[in-house]
Amino acid sequence: MTTSTPPTASGTTDVVLEAEGLTKHFPVRKRGRELLSRTARSVRAVEDVSLRLRRGRVTALVGESGSGKSSVARLLAQLHLQTSGTIKLHGEEVNAKGGRKFRAYGKRVQMIFQDPFASLNPVHTVRYHLTRALKIHGRAGKTPQDLEEALHDLLTRVQLTPAERYVDKFPHELSGGQRQRVAIARALGADPEALLADEPVSMLDVSIRLGVLNLLRDLKDRLRLAILYITHDIASARYFADETYVMYAGRVVEGGDSESVTQRPAHPYTQLLIDSAPDPDRPAAEEKDGGAGEPPSLIDPPAGCRFNPRCPHAMPICTEQVPPRFDVGEGHFAACWLYKEDGA
Amino acid sequence: MSDAVLEVRDLNVDYGLGDDAVRALRDVNLTLHRGEVLGLAGESGSGKSTLAYGLTRLLPPPGVVRSGEVFYHRDGGDPVDVLRMSHAELRRFRWAETAIVFQGAMNSLNPVHRIATQLTDVIKAHDARSTRASRLDRARELLSLVGISADRLDSYPHQLSGGMRQRVMIGMALALEPKVVIMDEPTTALDVVVQRQILRRLVDLRERLGFSVVFITHDLSLLIEFSDRIAIMYGGRIVEEAASARLYRDPLHPYSQGLLNSFPALRGPKRELTGIPGSPPDLRAMPSGCAFHPRCPRATERCGVEVPVLGVPEGRVQHSDHRGRTVACLLHPVHDNGF
Mean pLDDT estimate for chain B: 87
Task: Determine the Cα–Cα distance for residues B174 and B101; give it in Å rounded to an integer.
Answer: 10
| B97 and B221 assigned to the same domain | yes
Q: Is residue A188 part of a domain?
A: yes
Q: Which of A205, A210, A236 sits opposite B280 (nearest CB)?
A: A205
pLDDT in tens, B127-176: 888 899 999 999 999 998 888 888 889 999 988 888 888 889 988 999 99
CATH number at residue B183: 3.40.50.300
Q: Are residues B261 and B136 in the same domain?
A: no
In this structure, the answer to whether residues B243 and B230 fall within a common structural domain is no
Strands A251-257 and A243-248: antiparallel
Show residues of chain A in contact with B220, CB under 8 Å: 206
pLDDT of the residue at B195: 83
The HSE-up count of residue B286 (CA atoms within 13 Å, CB side) is 21
Please tell me the predicted confidence (pLDDT) of residue A285: 46
Inter-chain residue contact B264 with A280, CB threshold 8 Å = no
Q: Domain check: are B186 and B311 in the same one?
A: no
The per-residue pLDDT for B339 is 44
Looking at the fold, whether B217 and B297 belong to one and the same domain comes out as: no
Min distance B163 CA to chain A CA atoms (Å): 9
Average pLDDT, chain A: 87
Residue A10 C-alpha, separation from nearest chain B C-alpha, in angstroms:
29
B31 min Cα distance to partner chain A (Å): 24
Q: What is the pLDDT of residue A1?
A: 41
Are residues B166 and B106 in contact, defined by beta-carbon separation less than 8 angstroms?
yes
Chain B positions touching A262 (Cβ under 8 A) are 266
Confidence (pLDDT) at B166: 85
DSSP letter at B337 equals: T
Which chain A residues contact residue B262 at CB under 8 A? 206-207, 209-210
The pLDDT assigned to B28 comes to 93
The number of distinct structural domains making up chain B is 2
pLDDT tens, position by position, A79-109: 999 999 999 999 899 887 778 899 899 999 9
Contacts B225 to A, Cβ<8 Å: 278-280, 282
pTM of the model: 0.86
Q: Which of chain B's residues have a Cβ under 8 Å away from the Cβ of A65?
A: 191
pLDDT at B219 over 90: no
- CATH number of the domain that A112 lies in? 3.40.50.300
User: Does residue B23 form part of some domain?
Assistant: yes
**CA separation for the pair A162, B20 (Å, rounded):** 30
Classify strands A58-62 and A243-248 as parallel, antiparallel or unpaired: parallel
Residue at A154 is within a domain: yes
Domain membership flag for residue B171: yes
Q: Give domain status of residue B59, yes or no.
A: yes
The answer to whether residues B66 and B200 belong to one domain is: yes
Give the pLDDT of residue A291: 56
Helix H or strand E segment including A181: helix A176-188
Which chain B residues have a beta carbon less than 8 Å from that of A178? 279
- Over pLDDT 70: what percentage of chain B? 94
Interatomic CA distance for residues A28 and A173, integer angstroms: 41
In a domain, A248, yes or no: yes
Q: Establish if B338 belongs to a structural domain.
A: no
| Residue of chain B whose Cα is closest to the Cα of A202 | B188
State the CB neighbour count (10 A cutoff) for residue B46.
28
Task: For residue A314, tell me if it sits in a domain.
Answer: no
Higher pLDDT pick, A291 / B5: B5
Cβ pair B268:A239 closer than 8 A:
no
Residue A304 lies in a domain: no
User: Is A164 within the bounds of a domain?
Assistant: yes
Residue B201 three-state SS = helix
Is the pLDDT at B2 greater than 60, yes or no?
no
pLDDT at residue B335 above 90? no
Interface test with B, best of A207, A261, A274 (most B CBs within 10 A): A207
> Is the confidence at residue B300, as pLDDT, over 50?
yes
Q: What is the pLDDT of residue A264?
A: 93
Do residue B179 and residue B304 come from a single domain? no
Strands (E), B150-289: 180-184, 212-217, 229-234, 237-243
Q: Does one domain contain both B65 and B119?
A: yes
Distance from CA of B189 to the nearest CA of A (A): 9
A280 closest CB neighbour out of B192, B194, B225: B225
Q: Which residues of B touch A273 (CB under 8 A)?
A: 192-193
Task: Count CB pairs under 8 A between chains A and B.
Answer: 102
B63 found inside a domain:
yes
Residue A279 lies in a domain: no
Q: In the predicted model, is pLDDT for residue B319 greater than 70?
A: no
Which of B203, B234, B265 lies at the terminal end of a domain, its last residue? B234
Work out the average pLDDT over B187-214: 85
CA-wise closest residue to A211 among A154, A281, A262, A160: A160
Q: What is the pLDDT along chain A (344 residues), one digit of tens a residue?
A: 444 444 444 444 589 999 999 999 998 877 777 777 777 788 899 999 999 999 999 999 999 888 889 999 999 999 999 999 999 999 899 887 778 899 899 999 999 998 888 899 999 999 999 999 999 999 888 899 999 999 999 999 999 988 999 999 999 989 888 999 999 999 999 999 999 999 999 888 888 899 999 999 999 999 999 999 999 999 999 999 999 999 999 999 999 999 999 999 999 999 999 988 887 776 554 555 555 677 888 888 899 999 999 899 999 999 999 999 999 988 899 999 999 876 44
Range of the domain at A246: 14-27+47-262
Q: What is the pLDDT of residue B321?
A: 54
How many domains is chain A built from? Answer: 1
Residue B338 pLDDT more than 50? no
Structural domain includes residue A152: yes
Give the pLDDT confidence score for residue A343 in this predicted structure.
Answer: 45
Beta-ladder partners of B39: B215, B230
Look up the domain containing B40 and give its range.
Answer: 4-234
* Rounded Cα gap, residues B312 and B327, in angstroms: 6
Q: Of B207, B234, B261, which residue constitutes the final position of a domain?
A: B234
